[in-house]
Amino acid sequence: MGDRASPSGRHIHLYFSPWLHESRAWRAGRAALDAGLAAEVDYVGHAVAGLDLIEPRGPGETVRRVGPSPAVPGTGRLTRALALPAWWRATVRDMGQRTPATLVIAHSLASLPLGVLLKIRSGARLLYDAHELESEREGWSWPVRKAARIVETALIRFCDHTIVVNDSIADWYRVAYRGLSVSTVRNVPTSLAYRGESTLRQDIGVGEDAVVVAYAGAFTRGRGLETAVEAFSRVGGDKHLVMVGYGPMSADLAALAAGQPNIHLRPSVAHDQVVSYLRGADVGLCQPNGTSLSYHFGLPNKLFEYAAAGLAVIVGEGPEFRAFANESGLGWSIRNDVDSLVSTIAQLTRASIKERIAQSTYRPPTWADEKVRLLDALRRAVGGIGSADEDSSASVQEVRALQ
């Protein structure tokens, strides 16, 4: 292979997905190309019926879908599990026919064994981009979490650098894996700009006097959506909840909201239109009630989208949520239960919300801010060049207590 520290090499992003909505990885690939750290970038995922196996994305960028499609939901657990090593094998075969990579980026724990294998075979450098606290995902049983931790412990030392999405998770990795080279690159909006007027209020049929609380994101378990529906069914009146998104809970949420005139479901909007659309609301809601450490230490990108849209926020009680509410001055960090949400909603008026927003001097970060951190991480991965790691927040003691 070529010089692995070369600024004009080939980067391979690995993610066990069909590569339809992977904005974090696409931004990283484009940033590497624009900075001259890569000459070409491949995004490698699994095949799906109806999608091209090879899909050009832009100058120097290509999505490659290889291997068999994973089993559909409802298929046996063993059948679903076997799809992952089948994808690993297919990717190794495909990569063997192409120019060796200088840098491999594994975007999940599921992709990390493949990343390690490609590093060993080709001599490429390896960057681990943990999109959440990977071995402590929501919905995993204790045996699955235990197995995931064993795998991560065995493989993470092969990584030349690790990036995570917030400082609390960075602290968790530093405590769990002493001496690990790790830094934070947050998920933030690409821009604070917005286009035109929001149609959100017209879409749900409310006037200017109503208080509108918005949730934007996936409709999945553990995100507090049932709690939100129950709370707004108890508040009623001029307090409205609008949930903008998609996911497996769509039908369940529609059934729960049936007959509640102040609870609305709207389909997802294009990624680059989310901030614009949310400007029609008053408050953004993010109160996950999942029990995993990944959710406890989470900092979803929707918080930055809410702030960019000019909204106040109601958030949960995790350390990153508390810090965001306190440092931004934009809202309230509350317990993850219905009574706390009802109490908070009941006191809201449009005047009080506008006053809180007006008093805040918070400037939401954008990708222009985070790109500097990302490029630093890429340079560290390929050549060990970059700033020193630091304990990043006051949550280290909490991390140690919870591990």
* Whether pLDDT at 1 is above 60: no
Burial track 273-302 (b if 16+ CB lie within 10 A, e otherwise): ebbbbbbbbbbbbbbbbbebbbbbbbbbbb
Largest CA distance in the chain: 66
Nearest-angstrom CA–CA distance, 146 and 131: 19
Please list the helix, strand and coil fractions of the chain in percent, rounded to the nearest 5, in that order.
40, 20, 40
- Residue 402's pLDDT band, with cuts at 50, 70 and 90, is low
Nearest-angstrom CA–CA distance, 298 and 320: 7
List, for residues 169-209, the tens digit of each pLDDT value: 999 999 999 999 999 999 888 776 666 789 999 999 999 99
List, for residues 309-330, the tens digit of each pLDDT value: 999 999 998 999 999 999 999 9
Q: What is the mean pLDDT of residues 352-373?
A: 92
Q: Closest Cα partner for 100 from 122, 121, 120, 125?
A: 122
List, for residues 272-287, the tens digit of each pLDDT value: 788 999 999 999 999 9
Alpha helices in 219-263 (DSSP H): 225-235, 250-257
Nearest-angstrom CA–CA distance, 183 and 101: 23
Q: Closest Cα partner for 128 from 114, 149, 147?
A: 114
Nearest-angstrom CA–CA distance, 14 and 327: 35
CB 228 within 8 A of CB 249: no
Q: Closest Cα partner for 9 from 124, 106, 159?
A: 124
pLDDT at 28: 95
Nearest-angstrom CA–CA distance, 389 and 164: 13
- Percentage, residues of the chain above pLDDT 70: 89
Q: 73, exposed or middle or buried, with CB in 10 Å at 0-12, 13-18, 19+?
A: exposed
pLDDT at 389: 59
* Whether pLDDT at 74 is above 70: no
- Residue 211's pLDDT band, with cuts at 50, 70 and 90, is very high
Mean predicted lDDT score pLDDT of the chain: 89
Token reading at 161: 């650098």
Q: What is the mean pLDDT of residues 110-132?
A: 95
Q: Closest Cα partner for 41 from 104, 135, 125, 133?
A: 104
* Whether pLDDT at 71 is above 90: no
* Whether pLDDT at 393 is above 70: no
Q: Closest Cα partner for 241 from 211, 274, 199, 198?
A: 211
CB 363 within 8 A of CB 329: no
* Whether pLDDT at 3 is above 50: no
User: Rounded to two decimals, what is the model's pTM?
Assistant: 0.86
pLDDT at 397: 52
Q: 255, exposed or middle or buried, with CB in 10 Å at 0-12, 13-18, 19+?
A: exposed
Nearest-angstrom CA–CA distance, 196 and 181: 43
- Torsion-angle region of residue 191: left (phi > 0), alpha (psi -120 to 50) or beta? beta
R_g (Cα) of the chain, nearest Å: 22
* Whether pLDDT at 306 is above 70: yes
pLDDT at 70: 80
List, for residues 19-30, the tens digit of each pLDDT value: 998 989 999 999
pLDDT at 401: 53
- Residue 291's pLDDT band, with cuts at 50, 70 and 90, is confident
Residue 379 CA, distance from chain mean position: 23
* Whether pLDDT at 4 is above 50: no
Token reading at 251: 């039908």
Token reading at 233: 């069914």
pLDDT at 6: 44
Find the range with the poorest average confidence among 40-44, 85-89, 272-276, 328-332: 272-276
Instruction: Dihedral sign for Cα 212, 213, 219, 225, please.
Output: negative
